């Protein structure tokens, strides 16, 4: 009898956790807007219930358009998800670069390399300029990355399985660190 009651309670809890906010079909329980607001006010924590596979929210491809809407945002954030296996510490990151990195996490989340990176798409939300091997998150690199992701999404938005196979930064002279 106790098992039946426990199973019923678990079932009720599972059904009640399916809220309107969880429309991304990933495992994240927050919206992109909530994620951005928490990043901007410094309240996003990697150790919360907001994410499941790493410090980034587990959004599905349905969140990409909204994430892209912040891709040009240059406001600097000081508290944001970081890959724990990286030895490099960044004091701050442009919000738009972090949104593009979050999109990259959606694109590669089933990829073997992403699994090796503990669920993160790369070591850091840091853009590598391939011509001189410098890590840059300046306006020029952010704009180039945003344009590449915008073009990629416009091309593949209706076929995410194909989109996952194409690196938006390929051929741009930039990559993720």
Q: What is the pLDDT of residues 15-65, one digit of tens each?
A: 333 333 333 455 667 899 999 999 999 888 765 555 544 678 888 899 999
What pLDDT was estimated at residue 3? 44
Q: Which residues pair with 175 in a beta bridge?
A: 128
CA–CA separation, 4 and 1 (whole Å): 5
- What's the chain's Rg over C-alpha atoms? 17
Contact 95, 39 (CB under 8 A): yes
**What does the pLDDT read at residue 171?**
95
Inter-CA distances, 46 with 19, 88, 139, 140, Å: 21, 17, 27, 29
Give the pair of three-digit tokens for residue 121. Answer: 């798409």
Query: Please, are residues 54 and 118 in contact by the beta-carbon 8 Å criterion?
Result: yes
% residues pLDDT > 90 (the chain): 50
- Number of Cβ within a 10 Å radius of residue 96: 23
pLDDT band at 84 (very low <50, low <70, confident <90, very high): confident
What is the model's pLDDT at position 6? 37
pLDDT the model gives residue 75: 96
This prediction has a pTM of 0.80
Distance CA 139, CA 145 (A): 10
Q: What is the DSSP string of 58-96?
A: ---GGGHHHHHTTTT---EESS----TT-----S-EEHH
On whether the CB atoms of residues 109 and 94 are closer than 8 A, the answer is: no
- The two structure tokens encoding residue 73: 């945002």
């Amino acid at each position: 009898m106790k098992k039946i009651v426990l199973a019923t309670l678990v079932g009720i809890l599972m059904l009640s956790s399916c809220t309107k906010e969880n429309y991304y079909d990933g495992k994240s329980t927050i919206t992109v807007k909530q994620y951005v607001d928490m990043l901007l006010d410094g309240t996003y924590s990697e150790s919360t219930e907001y994410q499941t596979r790493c410090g980034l929210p587990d959004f599905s491809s349905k969140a990409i358009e909204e994430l892209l809407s912040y891709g040009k945002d240059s406001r600097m954030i000081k508290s944001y998800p970081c890959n724990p296996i990286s030895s490099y510490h960044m004091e701050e990151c442009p919000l738009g670069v972090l949104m593009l990195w979050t999109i990259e996490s959606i694109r590669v989340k089933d990829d073997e390399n992403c699994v090796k990176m503990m669920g993160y798409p790369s070591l850091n939300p840091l853009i590598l300029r391939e011509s001189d091997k410098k890590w840059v998150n300046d306006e020029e690199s952010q704009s180039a990355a945003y344009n590449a992701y915008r073009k990629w999404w416009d091309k593949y938005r209706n076929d995410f399985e194909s989109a996952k196979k194409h690196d938006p930064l390929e051929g741009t002279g930039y990559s993720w660190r």
